[in-house]
């Protein structure tokens, strides 16, 4: 029905509610990683320690960096590396005080898939701050059937249990960081991948696991049992337009029911429940060049909980004051 199309578009435009947005904020760039011969440092994920220093993972090498946003000009330094053939790190989540679960693998970034994926423990609990920092790393479990381990989130109240999104297979695993075991916790056609990654960022908030499905073009949630396994069906909360360069990636929750999402190619989007249901709003423009875009965001802690840190595939670490949004 090609001729009906313009009429339908016109009709939809009339039906859309008017969204009056504030001017877009521009996050402040704190630091840019140097570009090497192989390209920019592809920052993938962030964890914020209790002292508000940042742990940054990258797909450009099997490295975790630590960076202190309070001294922005001091270059990040290498906190941990993983042995070859491992070459990239994706999700990171704190599952016990200063104990982090990370996903490491041998990545083909252009193909958006990996082999030899493993979950490692990075233990900073016996480490000092600043330049006294030292990490103890240990491989916890191999996930041989996985092809794209991505976002990781701790399951609150379950010691040592994390959920890990598998963006290629379209499942979420629960990993027991103490016993070194895993099983499928959430399995649904709604998590599936297509010509791009499926379930991507994931975070537990209240009794739900919230997630982005990049291929599916929506932000959704699923009710979970205390142990992190699905207790109901996936709910699609809000959709987004998937374009050649545009897709939602990882996100953070402010704990008040608002979710802040890194959106390629160059924005941060806020999602929350309005009077008439779930809505999304673009709140910041990150200034990325090209097609990479912000990959992940994370909130500061304590006195810094209004600050949202943003990392990008072009190696930038930025800071957005969410009180000004
Ligand atoms: C990565 O994947 C692409 C596309 O599938 C393929 O052409 C390329 O050979 C792969 N690179 C490596 C190093 O395996
Ligand atoms: C998780 O909890 C649910 C509900 O109590 C239970 O049915 C299920 O067997 C548990 N799964 C695992 C892997 O512990």
Q: Is the CB of 158 under 6 A from ligand 2?
A: no
Report the atom number in ligand 1 closest to the C-alpha of 108. Answer: 1
Nearest to 113 by CA among 138, 145, 82: 145
Whole-number average pLDDT of the chain: 91
Ligand whose nearest atom lies closest to the CA of 108: 1
Residue 65 domain flag: yes
Is residue 213 a contact partner of residue 199, using CB atoms and an 8 Å limit? Answer: yes
Residue 155 domain flag: yes
Q: Is the CB of 108 under 6 A from ligand 1?
A: yes
Residue 87 domain flag: yes
> Looking at the 3D structure of the chain, how many domains does it have?
1
What predicted TM-score, i.e. pTM, was given to this entire model? 0.92
> What's the pLDDT at 291?
64
Residue 284 domain flag: yes
Express each pLDDT in 38-96 by its tens digit. 889 999 999 999 999 999 999 999 999 999 999 999 999 999 999 999 999 999 999 99
Residue 262 domain flag: yes
Ligand 1 centre from 87 Cα, in Å? 14
Residue 59 domain flag: yes
Ligand 2 centre from 224 Cα, in Å? 10
φ and ψ at 35, to 5 degrees?
Answer: -90, 135
Residue 264 domain flag: yes
Which range of residues forms the domain containing residue 175?
22-324
Nearest CA to ligand 1 atom 7: 111
φ and ψ at 84, to 5 degrees?
Answer: -60, 150
Report the atom number in ligand 2 closest to the C-alpha of 185. Answer: 13
How distant is the alpha carbon of residue 42 from its chain centre? 13
How distant is the alpha carbon of residue 135 from its chain centre? 22
Express each pLDDT in 215-254 by its tens digit. 999 999 999 999 999 999 999 999 999 988 889 999 999 9
Residue 6 domain flag: no
User: Which of 105, 110, 168 is the best mutation target for the ligand 1 pocket, counting ligand atoms within 8 Å of the beta carbon and taking the most?
Assistant: 110
> What's the pLDDT at 120?
98
User: Which of 111, 113, 116, 168 is the best mutation target for the ligand 1 pocket, counting ligand atoms within 8 Å of the beta carbon and taking the most?
Assistant: 111
Q: Work out the burial of residue 16: count CB atoms within 10 Å of its CB; fewer than 13 is exposed, 13-18 middle, 19 or more buried.
A: exposed
For residues 84 and 79, give the distance between their C-alpha atoms in angstroms, rounded to a whole number.
17
Banded model confidence at residue 21, pLDDT cuts 50, 70, 90: low
CATH of the domain at 302: 2.120.10.30
């Amino acid at each position: 029905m090609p001729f009906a199309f313009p009429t339908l578009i016109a009709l939809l435009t009339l039906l859309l509610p008017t969204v009056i947005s504030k001017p877009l904020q521009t996050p402040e760039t704190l630091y840019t990683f140097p570009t090497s011969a192989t390209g920019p440092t592809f920052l993938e994920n962030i964890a914020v320690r209790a002292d508000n220093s940042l742990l940054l993972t990258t797909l450009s090498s099997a490295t975790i960096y630590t960076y202190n946003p309070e001294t922005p000009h001091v270059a990040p330094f290498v906190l941990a590396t993983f042995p070859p053939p491992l070459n990239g790190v994706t999700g990171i989540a704190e599952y016990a005080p200063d104990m982090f679960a990370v996903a490491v693998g041998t990545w083909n970034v252009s193909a958006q898939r990996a082999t030899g994926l493993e979950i490692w423990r990075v233990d900073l609990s016996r480490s000092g701050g600043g330049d006294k920092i030292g990490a103890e790393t240990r491989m916890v479990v191999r996930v041989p059937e996985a092809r794209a381990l991505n976002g990781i989130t701790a399951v609150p109240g379950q010691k040592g249990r994390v959920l890990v999104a598998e963006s290629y297979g379209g499942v979420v695993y629960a990993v027991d960081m103490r016993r070194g075991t895993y099983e499928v916790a959430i399995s649904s056609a709604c998590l599936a991948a297509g010509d791009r990654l499926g379930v991507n960022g994931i975070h537990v908030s209240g009794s739900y696991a919230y997630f982005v499905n990049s291929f599916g073009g929506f932000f959704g949630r699923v009710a979970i049992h205390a142990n992190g396994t699905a207790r109901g069906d996936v709910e699609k909360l809000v959709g987004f337009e998937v374009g050649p360069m545009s897709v939602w990636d990882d996100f953070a929750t402010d704990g008040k029911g608002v979710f802040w999402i890194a959106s390629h190619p160059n924005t941060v989007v806020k999602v929350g429940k309005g009077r008439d249901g779930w809505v999304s709003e673009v709140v910041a423009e990150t200034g990325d060049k090209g097609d990479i875009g912000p990959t992940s965001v994370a909130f500061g802690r304590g006195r810094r909980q209004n600050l949202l840190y943003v990392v990008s595939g072009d190696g930038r670490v930025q800071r957005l004051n969410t009180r000004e949004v």
